[in-house]
Amino acid sequence: MRYDNCSPDAHGASTTAPEAPARRGWFGLLCGIAGILERADAARIALHVLFSLGGALAGSVAAVVLVPLIQPGHAPMFGGHELVLPASRGMLIAILVVSIAAYALLRWFVANLAGRVLGDCAVRLRRRAHAHLIDADLAALSGSTSAEISSVLTSTVDLIAQGVGAALQLLLVCVTTAVSLAFAFWVSPVLTLILPALAGLALIASRFQGREQARIGRQYVEDMTRLFWLSEDFPRRLRHVRSFEREGVEKAGYGATSSRLGYGYRRQIELAASGKLLMELLAAIGMAGVFMLAGRWHGMDQASLIAVGLLLGRLLPYLASTRYNFQQLHLAAPALELWRRFADLPAMHPATAPADKPAGNGEEVPRIHVEFMRLTLPTLQFDIEDLMLVPGEMTLIAGDSGTGKSSLADVLAGMAVPASFAARAGGRSVGFDIYRQLVRRGAYVSQGVRPWQHTVRECLHWAAPGATEPSLHGVLVDVGLDKRLQGTHGDLDAELQGTSCRLSGGELQRLLLAQVILRQPFLAVLDEATGALDAASEVRVLAALKRRLHQTILIVIAHRPGPAEIAEQCLCIGGTGIATVERRSPVDLSSIITREGFACREAAATLRGCNNTRDHTHSE
């Protein structure tokens, strides 16, 4: 078995992420936003426009009716003629109250509809991106970083949602501005020149805030922190989730947090609309007071002046927000492109329905003889022959960093597809699809993965929901955590997050290995999952796993020589370009589990001999 350097071009593959599409201007951005909306959103937006138009008309009527109340006996000009209004002051007040009430009610409906569109859209974007990542082929994630994935699941969706909200707000501004300007020009085209002067009042605009906004803001920070933690180091964590068949649990938990964020978006929109409504009312009252104090202005129609001032004054709150809305749309453009990159990821080909029975249930578990397997990577190629995967035995994969050990583990775990594959299981030939079905019930623990549950109990129940209390304590004894947790407040309820966590990196690795024992998988892959333990503890814990997983194919990637002492098979990748498979008889496990140390020098000699062997040897 050997590997050779090979260029990506030679195999027609490239791991470079596709370039972002060229910008298509505002029209293209609006089309992209429309593309992520559903029919229910379209219906709400149609009502949003209809109610916005109704609210703008009601507000304009209120502004016109207010004029004779400010200057009794005077009515503004409308279309070149004096507007005919009821002479009764009581009737005028009634029309004004009804108009203001209709305006406020319609604006509230507009805000509620916008909030629902925004909240539902954000929830849908998060769930779609997360679901596609959970189901994605690992090869499709090879060119992606954890930072990109964390961003697309957190801040990127925020930017897109804010862009959708900005588009809806600009739609409202356009409708309200069109109606107000139409009324103002109809009253007096000349007096609309007052608009630049009134625009100065926009400088004193302030955002309406309250206790509820503060509470929503705090909750938002907490939920976003939680989502970022769930997204950290996603490619490695995905192997763990998929091997334990806990995709549904992860999707449900993620959906619950997304729903809380969606509610927060909706309330923020509604509270902002309430504050803007208050500003409009204060602006109208302030302008009315100014005109009343101005007294008579000889040579100009005071009624028309007041009417135009009130109509244009309604636009003051939008002068301060329109620029911000355009900025939000500008930021949403690259965010939408990044989201589409992950939301359109190809899904991994499903192997089979999830297996419900654990390994070791009394049925015969087949051994797998990998006769030939070729791995083609961007910079190297592996040809592997005569690799025996036997339940109850441990295979050690050793070699220098960067030689493809983790890529080989992905293939053996059924999570990546090799270039060529031929194997036998149960006396019959099997292709990779059948092999993937055989190893579907697995457990994959990668280096650097930390438990993301809140407590030890949640962590263990995540792997085995039906595990009893004695079983949980039993696996903690197996991995050497029982005594450590006895000194921790809460025992199984000891916290794993934040400053309350008192477990070291090595102890957290032991906890993940306890999940593997509870899982009782057919195949378990430990990719440097014991690297944070000292050398003696590493061998003792691996020996305990072998003892408890007597019908599990155990594949271990390690750099230290200790695991070679208890492995039945060693696949070594040397720096000379030669890889070898050697089968041997391991030492007695009971002596390793009970003693405090082990023969490091002898194990090192064994591993050196494996690396120096250039001829393939294989014996049953």
Q: Classify 461 as helix, strand or coil.
A: helix
- Could you tell me if 145 and 279 lie in one domain? yes
Q: Of 469, 489, 520, which one is at a domain's C-terminal end?
A: 520
What are the CB-based long-range contacts (under 8 Å, 24+) for 497-506? 497/229, 497/454, 504/532, 505/450, 505/532, 506/532, 506/533, 506/534, 506/537
H/E element, 374: strand 368-376
Please give the Cα distance from 481 to 473 (Å, whole number): 9
Query: Of 37, 40, 39, 45, whose CA–CA distance to 128 is shortest?
Result: 37
Q: What is the pLDDT of residue 613?
A: 40
Q: Is residue 566 in some structural domain?
A: no
Please give the Cα distance from 505 to 451 (Å, whole number): 10
Please give the Cα distance from 408 to 70 (Å, whole number): 83
DSSP annotation of 533: S
Q: Is residue 488 in some structural domain?
A: yes
Find out whether 220 and 264 touch, Cβ atoms under 8 Å: yes
Buried b (16+ CB within 10 A) or exposed e, 134-144: bbbebbbbbeb
Q: Classify 37 as helix, strand or coil.
A: coil
- Could you tell me if 153 and 287 lie in one domain? yes
pTM of the model: 0.66
Q: Is residue 394 in some structural domain?
A: no
Q: What is the pLDDT of residues 123-150, one digit of tens each?
A: 999 899 888 888 888 878 877 777 678 7
Q: Label the pairing between strands 553-557 and 569-573.
A: unpaired
Q: Is residue 495 in some structural domain?
A: yes
Q: What is the pLDDT of residue 596?
A: 37
CA triple 245-155-257, angle to 5 deg: 45
- Could you tell me if 337 and 464 lie in one domain? no
Q: Is residue 551 in some structural domain?
A: no
Q: Label the pairing between strands 368-376 and 420-425.
A: antiparallel
Please give the Cα distance from 485 to 453 (Å, whole number): 16
Q: What is the pLDDT of residue 354?
A: 43
Spatial neighbors of 516 by CB under 8 A, at least 6 apart, are: 443, 445, 463, 524, 526, 545, 549
H/E element, 222: helix 211-231
Total domains, the chain: 2
Mean pLDDT by 10 residues, the chain (620 residues): 38 35 62 86 91 90 81 66 74 90 91 90 90 84 74 82 88 86 74 54 48 65 68 75 87 86 80 66 59 50 71 70 72 82 77 47 73 82 86 89 84 89 90 90 87 89 91 91 72 77 84 93 92 87 92 91 88 67 68 41 43 38
- The neighbour count for residue 363, using CB atoms within 10 Å, is 9
DSSP annotation of 414: T
Please give the Cα distance from 312 to 90 (Å, whole number): 26
Q: Is residue 90 in some structural domain?
A: yes
Assign residue 402 a region (left: φ > 0; alpha: ψ between -120 and 50; beta: otherwise): left
Query: Rounded to an integer, what is the distance from CA 256 to the centroid of its chain?
Result: 12
- Could you tell me if 339 and 465 lie in one domain? no
Q: Of 499, 520, 541, which one is at a domain's C-terminal end?
A: 520
Range of the domain at 287: 38-343
Find out whether 398 and 580 touch, Cβ atoms under 8 Å: no
Q: What is the pLDDT of residue 587?
A: 60
Q: Label the pairing between strands 569-573 and 394-399.
A: parallel
- Could you tell me if 336 and 481 lie in one domain? no
Q: Is the dihedral of CA 450, 456, 461, 466 positive or negative?
A: positive
How far from 551 is each of 428, 471, 513, 517, CA to CA, in Å? 20, 18, 16, 11
Please give the Cα distance from 32 to 386 (Å, whole number): 52
Q: Classify 296 as helix, strand or coil.
A: coil
Spatial neighbors of 369 by CB under 8 A, at least 6 apart, are: 386, 387, 388, 389, 423, 424, 425
- Could you tell me if 466 and 337 lie in one domain? no
- Helices vs. strands in the chain: H and E counts, helices first: 21, 13
Q: Is residue 618 in some structural domain?
A: no
Q: Classify 423 as helix, strand or coil.
A: strand
Please give the Cα distance from 34 to 45 (Å, whole number): 11
Amino acid at 584: R
CATH (domain of 71): 1.20.1560
- Could you tell me if 82 and 209 lie in one domain? yes
DSSP annotation of 363: S
Q: Can you list the alpha helix ranges (DSSP code H) found in 71-154?
A: 89-134, 146-153
How far from 320 is each of 173, 190, 379, 466, 488, CA to CA, in Å? 11, 25, 55, 57, 55
- Could you tell me if 479 and 336 lie in one domain? no
Q: Is the dihedral of CA 160, 162, 165, 166 positive or negative?
A: negative
Q: Is residue 268 in some structural domain?
A: yes
Q: What is the pLDDT of residues 217-228, one digit of tens each?
A: 567 656 765 777
Q: Of 292, 309, 343, which one is at a domain's C-terminal end?
A: 343
